[in-house]
Structure 1
Amino acid sequence: MDFYLTALLQGLCFSGIALGIYISMKIFNIPDITTDGSYALGGIVTGVTLTHAYPLYISIVVVLLAGGLAGAITGLIHTKLKINALLAGILVMTALYSVNLTIAGRSNLPLIGTASIFNVLNFTADVNVNTFIILLVIVAVLTGFIGYLLKTDFGIAMRATGNSETMIRALGVNTDRMKIIGLALANALTALSGFLITQQQGFADISMGVGIVIIGLGSVIIGETLIGWLRITSVWGSLLLVLAGTIVFQLVLAVTLAVGVNPNLLKVVTAVLVLLIVSLPRLSFRSHD
């Protein structure tokens, strides 16, 4: 049971990534690979600040600013230098590996005896359950903030930028600025996931972001599939189902490991799982033809 609870906790920790990819890929239609680097950046910054005994509130602010800056740089490269968004993300992601290594000073940072957001409040003596409650509160706050933002005039302009850039530009909206802010927000959320998972697992690693975009993408695709099946049109419903997709994705991986699949093959299993998630709706559609 603890095995699946751990998967649930990881799913909640990855909620920031799912929301970030939802913003970049589903709202702006930008395939942002910066995610791999900004996730590791969030983890490394968390490790460095906490091992240097900075307060948690300082750590989380620095993490959000660092992730936001990484996303903004990708946005600037894409909009101002007219570089393909995918290539811009790859360039920033590649650069962030060296940045992260420079910040950390080594490849791995253990968080032994450091402060943790998961023991700031003690609702119960059970560590996992206490972590679960705190993560639920964090995810609820995040979802509330993003849901509220997307329903404001600014959020509507963001959504319109992805849906019909030419039209919204004709109405006087600076679409380049929207993209930069959107990517900054998406990567700040991704870095926040790095902040959470680093404390949940007890260490930060320079390679922790490798392939993380696949997990986020798989979670969003599951959420999008659920949105299509249930015919959800509201912003709040869409966000909740994307978050549900994150948890479902992690639980499926947990079941895969539980049935005896070699942990060394987990990345392969993850890739195949995402491929299946992407392919099944198309195969179903073709079968109706």
Structure 2
Amino acid sequence: MSLYSLLGALEIGLIFSLVALGVLISFRILNFPDLTVDGSFPLGGAVAATLIASGHDPFLATLCAMIAGALAGFITGWLNVRLKIMDLLASILMMIALYSINLRVMGAPNVPLISEATVFTMIQPTWLPDYVLRPLALFVVVLAAKFGVDWFFSSQYGLALRATGANPRMARAQGIATGRATLAGMALSNALVALAGSLFAQTQGGSDISMGIGTIVIGLAAVIIGESILPARRLVLTTLAAVLGAILYRFFIALALNSDFIGLKAQDLNLVTAVLVTIALVLPATRKKLFARKNGRA
């Protein structure tokens, strides 16, 4: 695999690290099966691309994309908390609605950004190639997001969110407003996903209505792979595992698709994803069995 392909895999992996952090918040911390991700990811790209193409500042466009994603997550939580719609169904309803909303935002199936300024072109020095700058800039963004999530969930309000996901009945008994905690957690989760979508659109040269398909699968795969290679109870290590899982996932995908002797092509991407997720799910159980056998022999 060439250096260019390696950096490209790292770039996409870092972007989906933000998705993995968002999925970690909803699925693992809040215990909320959230499929809104498949809609909030392209929503971030649609909002950012539309604003940038209209001549707005790329940084402002990225911020607006995060706000739009947070609003989408908030509405999903509101459907569950206030209208008492089942969590999974509420997220499916929002995901379906976001398809039409994204088309409305863009006004077309896609918005190109080939000749437009992005957050990466705004900070690019003349001596640094763009394929090197993008992974470096994304690394800084992911690092800031990871430490921000760690800090937030170690605060008093963050601990209340963690208690809400772990045991909502006990959390309510302790005086925690679990409904508000769920709304805040869902907003934060989808804000991170929308940020990833906005950065993805700016790195890929535009936003497309179909770019969110399978995002939740990628996010879950990253979380599962990360937990398999770095099992931990501490949140600091759990968020690190999610980031590493997303990067490793993209490296595995790039390696498989760039291995000519295997014969895989771009259309085999979903097959490779399914195999990787299966291995990640089976690996912890296999490890436990081997460990139990060793202890039995000892």
Separation of aligned partners in 2, 1:168 and 1:227: 28
Matched, 1:185 2:188: yes
User: Is 1:210 matched up with 2:205?
Assistant: no
* Distance (whole Å) between structure 2 residues aligned to residue 241 and residue 181 of structure 1: 23
Structure 2 residue 111 is matched with structure 1 residue 122: no
Q: Partner residue of 1:68?
A: 70
- Distance, in Å, in 2 between the alignment partners of 1:112 and 1:130 is 17
In the TM superposition, what whole-angstrom CA distance separates every residue of 1:146-195 from its partner, at most 9, and x where no partner exists? 11101100111111111111111111111011111101110010000001
Q: Tell me how far apart the structure 1 counterparts of residues 11 and 192 of structure 2 sit (CA, whole Å).
A: 17
Whole-Å Cα distance in 2 between the matches of residues 64 and 122 of structure 1?
A: 23
Q: In the TM superposition, what is the alpha-carbon distance from 1:284 to its structure 2 partner?
A: 4.4
Looking at structure 1, the residues matched to 271 and 92 of structure 2 have their Cα atoms a distance apart, in angstroms, of 21
Q: Answer yes or no: is 1:221 the counterpart of 2:253.
A: no
**Is the CA contact (8 Å cut-off) linking 1:12 and 1:135 kept in structure 2?**
yes
Match of 1:254 in 2: 254
TM-score, normalised by the number of residues in structure 1: 0.95
Q: For the Cα contact (< 8 Å) 2:109–2:209, is it kept in 1? A: yes
Q: Hey, what does 2:60 align to over in structure 1?
A: 58
Give the match for residue 28 of structure 2: 26
* Structure showing greater Rg: 2
User: Is residue 59–residue 119 contact of structure 2 (8 Å, CA) maintained in 1?
Assistant: no
Question: For residue 28 of structure 1, what is the amino acid of its counterpart?
Answer: L
CA distance in 2, matches of 1:126, 1:106: 32
State the Cα distance separating 1:21 from its structure 2 match: 0.3
Partner of 1:235: 235
Q: How far apart in 2 are the matches of 1:180 and 1:272?
A: 34
Contact 1:214 1:271 in 2 (8 A): no
> What's the CA shift string for 1:63-83, capped at 9, x where partnerless?
011100100111011111221
Q: C-alpha separation between the residues in 1 aligned to 2:158 and 2:39?
A: 26
Q: Which runs of 5+ in 2 are unaligned?
A: 294-298
Cα distance in 2, alignment partners of residues 64 and 238 from structure 1:
23
- In 2, distance between residues paired with 1:220 and 1:17? 10
1:139 partnered with 2:148: no
* CA deviation vs aligned residue, 1:177-220 (integer Å, no higher than 9, x gap): 11111011100100000011111111110010001111110001
Pairing 1:94-113 to 2, within 5 Å after superposition: 94-113=96-115
CA RMSD of aligned residues (A): 1.5
In structure 1, the residue corresponding to 2:96 is in which secondary structure?
Answer: helix
Q: How many residues align?
A: 286
**Does 2:283 match 1:277?**
no
Distance (Å, rounded) in 2 between the aligned partners of 1:285 and 1:15: 27
Structure 1 gaps, min length 5: none
- Distance between the aligned counterparts of 1:211 and 1:276, measured in 2? 18
Contact 2:228 2:283 in 1 (8 A): no
Give the one of 164, 174, 179 matched to 2:177.
174
- Which range moved further: 87-96 or 257-266? 257-266
